[in-house]
């Protein structure tokens, strides 16, 4: 196990930042490189890795079921989920990893299956998806919940429908959340206003949108769109009022966009091919102005998922 993790860390440290888009600085670019967290799916399972401000990469977990990393606003902690013991057996729970003292704290209380934690801009709350842990209720879909970052005051968002809800993302001012709602066979994006308690639709259902991410300056929302006719996944951006919806990539398998602090680039995952019948995925960066795409991480036998960039300067 340790040898496998050491091998991955060595390979990443050798290859991952060669040719990364950091080499082409933009206006107002901070003097250091933002930290990037990711999930690496290899022969042993899912584990989290991170690059520091100098581009050095290391692995953080050896649980082999660690997913959905997300930085705290100050970039000092990483929220994620991994399996843990509960009265329902081993189920997905939310954790916080302190990147300075390397301490890991469980936040979820074991009352349900919790995944996809997204920290609020003020660092006080988490939006996440949850469903019952009781196997008898396994048909019950995911719904969006909010709790504070200590795991207290857990409550479901009142979104006015009972369909599954996925992929929440906070607006920069913390007043709204964009999310994906599933009403099979369709899906859509909605924005919920936490103050007004109102919900509005963002893009038409035929985009089959998912994996939304609100930009740091609040003027755009990136998302993944699936085309059922061609079975392709592409990246799009749209204004929060639903206008200026435009396609960024051609696919065929581009997913999981996340913003850089400058708001001018996205990091995302793309299919690199197949190995032994398994899809290989690398991490890429796209400049929204030039549309230039640069490969950041791509290593044989590993699939990289859910890259996140620290928005702390």
Q: How confident is the model at residue 193 (pLDDT cuts 50, 70, 90)?
A: very high
What mean pLDDT do residues 203-211 have? Answer: 88
Residue 196's pLDDT band, with cuts at 50, 70 and 90, is: very high
213: left (phi over 0), alpha (psi -120 to 50) or beta: beta
In this prediction, residues 100-125 reach a mean pLDDT of 95
pLDDT band for 20, please (50, 70, 90 cuts).
very low
Q: Quick check: 212 and 169 in contact, CB under 8 A?
A: yes
Return the higher-pLDDT residue of 301 and 18: 301
Q: What is the pLDDT of residue 133?
A: 87
Give the DSSP H or E segment for 164. none
Residue 200: both structure tokens together: 């509005």
| β-strand pairing of 186-193 with 176-183 | antiparallel
- Beta carbons of 294 and 19 less than 8 angstroms apart: yes
CA of 214: how far to CAs of 61, 114, 116, 187, in Å? 27, 22, 15, 18
**Could you give the percent of the chain with pLDDT greater than 90?**
64
pLDDT at 273: 81
Over the stretch 35-91, which tens digit does the pLDDT of each residue have? Answer: 899 999 888 889 999 987 666 788 899 878 999 999 999 999 999 999 998 888 899
Peptide bond into 252 cis (omega under 30): yes
Q: Which two tokens stand for residue 180?
A: 């994906």
- Tell me what pLDDT residue 217 has: 95
Least confident of 53-67, 174-188, 203-217, 242-256: 53-67
Q: Please tell me the predicted confidence (pLDDT) of residue 298.
A: 76
| 8-state DSSP, 253 | B
CA-to-CA dists, residue 209 to 22, 167, 186, 237, 279, angstroms = 29, 10, 9, 11, 22
Compute the Cα dihedral for 273, 245, 38, 146 and give only its sign: negative
Least confident window among 2-6, 13-17, 219-223, 238-242: 13-17
Domain spans, the chain? 1-59+253-284+296-313, 157-252
Token pair listed for 233: 């996944």
pLDDT average, residue stretch 288-298: 91
217's tokens? 């300056």
* C-beta of residue 97 within 8 angstroms of C-beta of residue 78: yes
The CATH homologous superfamily of the domain defined by 157-252: TolB, C-terminal domain (2.120.10.30)
Complete edge-to-edge strand list for the sheet that includes strand 89-98: 66-71, 77-86, 89-98, 104-106
In this structure, what is the dihedral angle of CA atoms 209, 78, 296, 312, given to the nearest 10 degrees? 90
Q: What is the mean pLDDT of residues 226-251?
A: 94
Q: What is the pLDDT of residues 131-169, one digit of tens each?
A: 998 887 777 889 999 999 999 999 999 887 778 999 999
């Amino acid at each position: 196990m340790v040898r496998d993790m050491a091998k991955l860390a060595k390979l990443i440290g050798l290859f991952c930042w060669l040719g990364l888009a950091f080499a082409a600085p933009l206006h107002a670019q901070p003097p250091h490189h933002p930290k990037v967290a990711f999930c690496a799916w290899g022969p042993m399972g899912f584990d989290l890795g991170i690059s520091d401000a100098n581009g050095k990469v290391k692995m953080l977990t050896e649980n082999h079921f660690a997913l959905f990393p997300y930085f705290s606003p100050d970039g000092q902690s990483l929220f994620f989920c991994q399996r843990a013991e509960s009265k329902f057996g081993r189920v997905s729970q939310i954790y916080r990893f302190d990147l300075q003292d390397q301490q890991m704290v469980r936040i979820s209380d074991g009352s349900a299956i919790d995944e996809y934690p997204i920290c609020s801009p003020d660092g006080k709350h988490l939006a996440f998806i949850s469903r019952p842990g009781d196997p008898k209720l396994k048909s019950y879909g995911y719904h969006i919940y909010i709790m504070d970052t200590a795991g207290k005051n857990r409550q479901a968002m009142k979104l006015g429908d009972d369909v599954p809800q996925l992929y929440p993302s906070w607006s920069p001012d913390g007043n709204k959340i964009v999310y994906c709602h599933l009403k099979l066979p369709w899906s859509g994006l909605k924005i919920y206003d936490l103050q007004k308690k109102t919900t509005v639709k963002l893009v038409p259902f035929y985009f089959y949108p998912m994996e939304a991410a609100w930009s740091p300056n609040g003027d755009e929302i990136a998302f993944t769109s699936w085309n059922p006719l061609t079975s392709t996944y592409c990246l799009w951006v749209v204004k929060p009022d639903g206008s200026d919806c435009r396609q960024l990539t051609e696919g065929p398998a581009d997913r999981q966009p996340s913003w850089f602090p400058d708001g001018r680039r996205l990091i995302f995952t793309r299919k690199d091919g197949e190995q032994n019948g398994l899809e290989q995925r690398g991490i890429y960066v796209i400049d929204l102005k030039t549309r230039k795409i640069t490969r950041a991480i791509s290593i044989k036998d590993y699939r990289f998922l859910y890259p996140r960039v620290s928005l702390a300067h």
